[in-house]
Amino acid sequence: MDDDTSDRPIARRDVLRASGGALGFMGMGGGGSERCPDATSRPAMRDCDGSTRKGCRDDHPRTEELLGAATESLDSDFGTVGALLEDGFVPYFDVLTGDSSGGWSHWLNPRYIGDDSIFDASRPAAIMVDNKWWRPLGLMFVATREGDRVSAPSVYGEDDEQRCSPWHQHVGLPGRYAWWKYRQLWGDGGDGFRLPCDTPCMMHVWTYPHPDGVYAHGAPPRENRGGPPAEPAGFETSATPGEDVLGIDVLAEELLNSSVARS
């Protein structure tokens, strides 16, 4: 069914307890080919309208400025998972569903997604974390203002040959489902029972060396993520960074407590 069937607020506890499998969600207004012609059942992404990487260079002054700000933000304020939890970051369900994206996960901050900033590295919409070392790997900016989607701005440049605007959005079912679950748990509730056709536009800035550049979509190779682990974890846990994978078994109690407190 594509139409919403209830205005009842969805309790965060209910969503946390729901199955992490996206297939079980298909009957809840998942959206078929008519409503979402670009959507796929498998993980998929596409460039946002107007996006281009032609002018993107790691040695461009604006890239160096953005990378420097991202590195400083992670080093000074967001060095551990505990620091992320304390500041209000929550995992984007690639942790909760067991899809660890090749050993890394996204952590989103509802306050920063809901404010008026986009490129503010001190208030990043999201942070990518290595699930083995529990170490932040970079920032992700989301094209929203006050929680509403906006057209993705260029990082720099005006004409197509010199412009850098490396924004992407997820159109695959796992990504759309994850965004829906995030909004139900910690966002504004969004589309109710209706699964969105895509996510807002997103852009990565990796602070670890990446063969495809600072703005690459995927994470840096494992050998470039380095050690040692980000110890201490920054929150009470019997798990050990570098030995235990950062996943639902480590975070369940912490996340359930925070979701109940905010319900």
SS3 249: helix
Residue 89: its pLDDT value, please? 92
Query: Structure tokens of 45?
Result: 């992404």
| pLDDT tens digit sequence for 66-98 | 999 999 999 999 999 999 999 999 887 666 555
Q: Is the pLDDT of residue 236 over 60?
A: yes
Q: CB of 135 within 8 A of CB of 81?
A: no
Task: Kindly state the average pLDDT of the residues 102-129.
Answer: 92
Mean pLDDT over each residue of the chain, to the nearest integer: 81
Say if strands 90-91 and 45-47 run parallel, antiparallel, or are unpaired.
unpaired
Q: Is the pLDDT of residue 41 over 60?
A: yes
Q: What angle do CA 77, 102, 31 make, to 5 degrees?
A: 95
The values of phi and psi at residue 71, to 5°, are -65, -45
Residue 256: its pLDDT value, please? 65
Residue 28: its pLDDT value, please? 41
SS3 63: helix
Sign of the torsion angle spanned by Cα atoms 4, 108, 260, 93: positive
Residue 23: its pLDDT value, please? 38
| pLDDT tens digit sequence for 131-176 | 989 999 999 999 999 888 999 999 999 887 899 999 999 999 888 8
Please state, in angstroms and rounded to a whole number, the distance separating the CA atoms of residues 61 and 75.
21
Residue 228: its pLDDT value, please? 78
Longest dimension (CA), the chain: 53
Within 10 angstroms of residue 23's Cβ, the number of other Cβ atoms is 11
Query: Structure tokens of 170?
Result: 């997820």
Residue 22: its pLDDT value, please? 38
Residue 257: its pLDDT value, please? 63
Please state, in angstroms and rounded to a whole number, the distance separating the CA atoms of residues 193 and 30.
8
Q: Is the pLDDT of residue 2 over 80?
A: no
Partners of residue 136 on adjacent β-strands: 129
Sign of the torsion angle spanned by Cα atoms 251, 217, 191, 114: positive
Residue 184: its pLDDT value, please? 80
Q: CB of 245 within 8 A of CB of 96?
A: no
Please state, in angstroms and rounded to a whole number, the distance separating the CA atoms of residues 96 and 178.
10
Question: End-to-end distance of the chain based on CA atoms, in angstroms?
Answer: 27
The least confident of 18-32, 129-143, 209-223 is: 18-32
Q: Is the pLDDT of residue 36 over 70?
A: yes
223 CB-side CA count, 13 A: 1
Which residue in 134, 177, 165, 151 sits closest to 44, CA to CA?
A: 177
The residue type found at 223 is: E
Task: Kindly state the average pLDDT of the residues 236-255.
Answer: 84
